[in-house]
Amino acid sequence: MEKIIKGKAYVLGNNIDTDQIIPAEHLVYSLTDPEESKKYGHFALSSVPPAQAGLPHGNISFIKGDNYQSEFNIVIGGSNFGCGSSREHAPFALQIAGVQAIIAESYARIFFRNCVDGGFLLPYETPAKLYDQIKTGDELELNVHDNILKDLTTLKIFNLRPLGDILPIIEAGDIFKYARQSGMIA
């Protein structure tokens, strides 16, 4: 895993639920077929209400045209990110779309666990409301091992809560790979 993740921010507000992250009607695609799984990326964040999409200006598309990958690889959220149903398709869809990290005030527990267990995304928590300090399109630099987010556009620096024991799981690729690497299972 990269120690430094650089990229563009996509800013959302509070209570982004799993049906907004990947609408239920798109759960019909294979998770294992490489071509078909691209549909998850294409439809990622497609049901976010226009007023929330790319806050504060609203209505900024996460995926443009027929693409399945976004130009935005760091998602900034508010509180209760990933609430709703327990589908692991939500972090998978964001990963396929090119997201490497989500930085939110808090997460729905099942979404957080799905991010970690599947090794999909880095789910950072922040003690500050970042969605009113960072704008969609801002260039960001996330230092994974120092837990620091720099907004290279505004030169603001934010301290994030450490990932702690979950970082090695995500670095291994998923919870089963971690368990094998650490000798917990054969």
Q: Give Cα 153 distance to the centre of its chain.
A: 20
Q: What is the pLDDT of residue 167?
A: 95
Q: CB of 139 within 8 A of CB of 8?
A: yes
Compute the average pLDDT of residues 11-20: 94
- At residue 86 the predicted structure's pLDDT band, cuts being 50, 70 and 90, is confident
Distance CA 162, CA 148 (A): 9
Give the model's pLDDT for residue 2: 76
CATH architecture for segment(s) 4-181: Alpha-Beta Barrel (3.20)
Which run of H or E residues covers position 99?
none
Provide, rounded to the nearest whole percent, the portion of the chain with pLDDT above 90: 87
Return the pLDDT at 89. Answer: 95
Report strand pairing: 4-11 vs 139-143.
antiparallel
Q: What is the DSSP letter of 26?
A: G
- Residue ranges in the chain assigned as alpha helix (H): 18-21, 34-42, 89-96, 109-117, 166-172, 175-181
pTM greater than 0.85: yes
- Share of residues in the chain with pLDDT > 70 (%): 96
pLDDT class of 55 with cuts at 50, 70, 90:
low
Confidence label for 78 from pLDDT (cuts 50, 70 and 90): very high
What's the mean per-residue pLDDT of the chain?
Answer: 93
Mean pLDDT of 73-89: 93
Cis peptide before 56 (omega within 30 of 0): yes
CB 96 within 8 A of CB 31: no
**Backbone region of residue 134 per phi and psi (left: phi > 0; alpha: psi in -120 to 50; beta: other values):** beta
| Across 31-40, 48-57, 60-69, least confident range | 48-57
Averaged pLDDT, 91-115: 97
pLDDT band at 50 (very low <50, low <70, confident <90, very high): confident
